[in-house]
């Protein structure tokens, strides 16, 4: 069996502490907010996988189309011997890259879920003799130290997840990625593109209501982990396009005036009828904007690929 190492850089109680801080801060400010990372308990992950198969939700299919068409070119241009994947989950998306990288020595998946990392590694190593896997249990938004693996390195951040970061957060994130790289190393970035409002809103407000259940799952997480008494039926799912910021916002809107008790925080949260909690921002991008943000972080946009309908893009940037 090929080498498998697992390193934890995230303290055992870090998730609980972060949830407490995010809920207290987010639900006591106006307007109220909850970060999208709290969608993803086991049930939330199942719902998101269901979302990716919906006819309205194009990003996953579009990104897969690009990866299938361009994996060999990505491998050729990057020459990567180490592939680092941020927010790797099941590592399903990167299998095309792993197969296409002839000189790959090491794969470094980074995720907060130990079970996801172990499951992905077991599957990958069964099919890829000789691959070294060094998994990191870490929150890549809070700084990251990579293991000593051979270069060139290619960091992959796929799925359009960078759109969940606000502009200042994106700038800090890209600078942190650049700090991990040596000149000539690369960043492979997945970004959803600006397009017509109807297509965008439908992708986040599907006819079957799966995204609505996904959105409300954050309330179930707060109930279970912090003893809160949210009733999901008291909140409606809202998805709106903000043309000024060029992002989708997902929100939960109170159907009536109510109060929610959160015993673990010794907190009571009042809601007015119609008051909203923002649960996700999903920014959409243009090529010139991505190029500018990358350049500001010391990364040069070298390659830009889109799917056949120009809905989604993969870009390959080089550390300079």
Q: Which tokens sit at 276? A: 């909203």
0.85 surpassed by pTM:
yes
Dihedral sign of CA atoms 232, 234, 238, 242 in order: negative
Q: Which residues contact 28 (CB under 8 A, 6 or more apart)?
A: 267, 269
Show the tokens assigned to 313.
């893009």
For residue 84, the surrounding DSSP H or E stretch is: strand 82-86
Q: Which of 70, 72, 101 is nearest to 85 (CA)?
A: 101
Closest CA relative to residue 263, chosen from 224, 233, 234, 231: 224
How far apart CA 199 and CA 185 sit, in angstroms, is 35
Domains detected in the chain: 31-56+197-283 (no CATH), 58-193+285-319 (3.40.50.150)
Q: What is the pLDDT along the chain (320 residues), one digit of tens a residue?
A: 457 888 988 777 788 999 999 999 999 999 999 999 999 888 998 999 999 999 999 999 999 999 999 999 999 999 999 999 998 877 788 888 888 988 899 999 998 878 888 888 888 888 887 889 999 988 888 778 889 899 999 999 999 999 999 999 999 999 999 999 999 999 999 999 999 999 999 999 999 999 999 999 999 999 999 999 999 999 999 999 999 999 999 999 999 999 999 999 999 999 999 999 999 999 999 999 999 999 999 999 999 999 999 999 999 999 99
């Amino acid at each position: 069996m090929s080498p498998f190492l697992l390193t934890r850089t995230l303290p055992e109680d870090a998730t609980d502490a972060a949830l407490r801080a995010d809920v207290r801060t987010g639900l006591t400010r106006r307007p109220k907010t909850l970060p999208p990372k709290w969608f993803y308990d086991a049930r939330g992950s199942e719902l998101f996988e269901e979302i990716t198969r919906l006819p309205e939700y194009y990003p996953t299919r579009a990104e897969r189309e690009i990866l299938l068409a361009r994996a060999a070119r990505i491998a050729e241009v990057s020459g990567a011997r180490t592939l680092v994947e941020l927010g790797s989950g099941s590592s399903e998306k990167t299998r095309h890259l792993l197969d296409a990288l002839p000189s790959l020595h090491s794969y470094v998946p980074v995720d907060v879920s130990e079970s996801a990392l172990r499951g992905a590694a077991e599957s990958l190593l069964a099919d890829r003799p000789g691959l070294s896997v060094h998994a990191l249990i870490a929150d890549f938004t809070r700084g990251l130290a990579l293991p000593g693996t051979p270069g060139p390195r290619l960091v992959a951040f796929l799925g359009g997840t960078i759109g969940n970061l606000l502009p200042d957060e994106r700038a800090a994130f890209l600078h942190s990625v650049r700090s991990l790289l040596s000149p000539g190393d690369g960043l492979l970035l997945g970004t959803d593109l600006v397009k017509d409002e109807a297509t965008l809103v439908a992708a986040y407000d599907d006819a079957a209501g799966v995204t609505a259940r996904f959105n409300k799952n954050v309330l179930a997480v707060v109930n279970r982990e912090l003893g809160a008494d949210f009733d999901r039926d008291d909140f409606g799912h809202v998805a709106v396009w903000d043309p000024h910021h060029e992002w989708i916002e997902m929100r939960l809107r109170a159907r009536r005036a109510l109060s929610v008790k959160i015993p673990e925080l010794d907190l009571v949260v009042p809601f007015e009828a119609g008051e909203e909690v923002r649960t996700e921002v999903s920014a959409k991008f243009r090529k010139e904007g991505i190029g500018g943000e990358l350049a500001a972080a010391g990364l040069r946009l070298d390659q830009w690929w889109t799917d056949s309908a120009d809905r989604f893009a993969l870009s390959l940037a080089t550390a300079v």
